[in-house]
Amino acid sequence: MNLVYHFQAKPQNGPVFEGKVMAQDLESAQSKLSQQGLRVIEIKINISDSLDLVVRKSADGREMAQFYKTLGRRLGNGSGLEQALEESLEFTMDSVLSVIISMMVVAAKNGSNVDGCMQYAGIDKRDVSVIRALREAGDAPRGLGDLAAEYQQTYSLKRKLRAVFLEPLSILSFSYILIWGVFVFAVPRIQHFYAQLPNASLPGYVAKLYAFVDFFDAHVVVSTVLYVLLVPLLIFIIRSPLWAYVRDKIPSFRALSERSDHAMIWASYALLYEAAINRAEAAELISKSAKRMDSRTALANMAIAMRRGREPARAVAIAGFPRFVQGAVANYLRAGSADDVVEGLRLFSSNLAEDVDLLSERITTLARNMMYILMGVIIFFVAMITAVPMIETALHQA
């Protein structure tokens, strides 16, 4: 687990400066700085940035897109690497990205090129490979611009996927709090109301439930803690392989998951293809960031097939990709020129992104309707154990 350290240091040539570095411990942080020719004057852990790094692990996709875009533009306009990085650092709001840029500045002060700075800062190997290849071809700014576009597309896809479950999650959260409030506040008052009425009796189903509520309220602290712990338990279940298996049995959810994953996969592959990265190595790099297990397996099979001498198109056909991928991607990979291949893969990725839009709207509507039904059931349940017994008793007393 990496932590963030704030430091003051002096390079061999130049004034003292401040920055941040990611490392597993203090000794590793000092070693990283010393490797860049810095004499460390002061170094201490940055608790807030370390906590943010532990929670989020990586920079926000939109912020990364903006960083790559502005860095590529500045380098393309003739700015020096160190100056361009320092200017980017001033406008960065994301704490994780600010640490990454700060580390790139350290490497730039020691004379590293842009991909060397990225590698030192721990940026994804795929990104480093793209920029290294295009820098050697004299076109690093274009590579940064391409990375920015790919990060923006990935961010947009992930945002749409999160939006599918945002409204249902809000309704479930409200219902969750409502039930706790009924148990702790409403039911005791209703029981007090019944105690004041002569010859009043609760319906049988209500009496049994109220007995459970009495036990819940008698140990309210422990009961509340256990009730709250249901949330992380639910999160654990949702993130488990079992839930992924169940979700994949629902056709619309499987289609959404597959198409969103492959939209990102083939946009990335187009990027690496354009940079002339080894085709098998490109598949291996992308497999590490694929979300679905079957996608990772298929990409690994594709890489193995190409290393054994298969053409990329044939490797795709036998790797085990979904049917909607096999034919389309194989045809694009058989295109005449590299530019045609890249254009075709990006078109395919764009088409999948449009499919994700449509599927997201359908699933959001379905989920919203299901949540409305669930909310109605919960409100009916609450009414049956609170208002309805009181109304029945009032009518009986009259």
> What is the per-residue pLDDT across 280-321, written as a single tens digit (0 to 9) for each?
999 998 998 888 999 999 999 999 999 999 999 999 999 999
pLDDT at 392 over 90: no
Tokens of 72: 């590529």
- Please give the C-alpha separations between residue 304 and each of 204, 251, 270, 367, in angstroms, as whole numbers: 67, 30, 19, 40
- The model's pLDDT over 61-88, given as tens digits with 9 standing for 90+, comes to 999 999 999 999 999 999 999 999 999 9
Region class of 46: left (phi > 0), else alpha (psi between -120 and 50), else beta: beta
For 178, how many CA atoms within 13 A lie in the half-sphere containing its CB? Answer: 16
pLDDT of residue 121: 94
**Residue owning tokens 């619309």:** 252
**Residue owning tokens 């709090």:** 177
Mean pLDDT value of segment 249-273? 90
Order the strands of the 17-23 sheet from edge to edge: 17-23, 3-10, 39-45
pLDDT of residue 376: 87
> What span, in angstroms and rounded, lies between the C-alpha atoms of 63 and 93?
8
**Sign of the torsion formed by the C-alpha atoms of 103, 108, 112 and 117:** positive
Region class of 199: left (phi > 0), else alpha (psi between -120 and 50), else beta: left
The CB density around residue 392, as the number of other CB atoms within 10 Å, is: 14
Q: Is 305 buried (19+), middle (13-18) or exposed (0-12) by CB count in 10 A? A: buried
Query: In this prediction, what percent of the chain has a pLDDT beyond 90?
Result: 46
Poorest-pLDDT segment among 17-26, 36-45, 372-381, 384-393: 384-393
Exposure string over 40-74, b if 16+ CB within 10 A, otherwise e: beebeebeebbebbeeeeebbbbbbbbbbbbbbeb
- Closest by alpha carbon to 299, among 323, 269, 328? 269
pLDDT of residue 327: 87
pLDDT of residue 4: 93
- Chain centre distance of CA 358: 21
**Residue owning tokens 């009181």:** 390
> What span, in angstroms and rounded, lies between the C-alpha atoms of 44 and 149?
36
> How would residue 394 be classed by pLDDT, with cut points 50, 70 and 90?
low
pLDDT of residue 283: 93
**Mean per-residue pLDDT of the chain:** 88
Tokens of 271: 């990027």
Tokens of 336: 């005449």
Poorest-pLDDT segment among 30-34, 161-165, 382-386: 161-165
pLDDT of residue 115: 94
- The model's pLDDT over 146-168, given as tens digits with 9 standing for 90+, comes to 899 888 888 888 887 777 778 78
Helices (H), ranges, the chain: 26-35, 47-56, 61-76, 81-90, 95-109, 114-120, 125-136, 140-181, 187-195, 204-218, 220-238, 241-248, 251-274, 279-287, 293-307, 312-318, 323-333, 338-385, 387-397
Mean pLDDT value of segment 234-258? 86
pLDDT at 56 over 90: no
- The model's pLDDT over 163-202, given as tens digits with 9 standing for 90+, comes to 777 878 888 888 889 889 988 998 888 888 777 777 667 7
| Cα pseudo-dihedral 260, 261, 263, 268, rounded to 10 | 150
> How would residue 29 be classed by pLDDT, with cut points 50, 70 and 90?
very high
Between CA 295 and CA 304, with CA 298 as vertex, the angle to 5 degrees is 145
Which H or E element spans position 45? Answer: strand 39-45
> What span, in angstroms and rounded, lies between the C-alpha atoms of 133 and 142?
11
Mean pLDDT value of segment 330-355? 90
pLDDT of residue 397: 61
> What span, in angstroms and rounded, lies between the C-alpha atoms of 366 and 164?
10
pLDDT of residue 193: 77
pLDDT of residue 279: 92
> How would residue 398 be classed by pLDDT, with cut points 50, 70 and 90?
low
Q: Is 320 buried (19+), middle (13-18) or exposed (0-12) by CB count in 10 A? A: middle
pLDDT at 90 over 70: yes
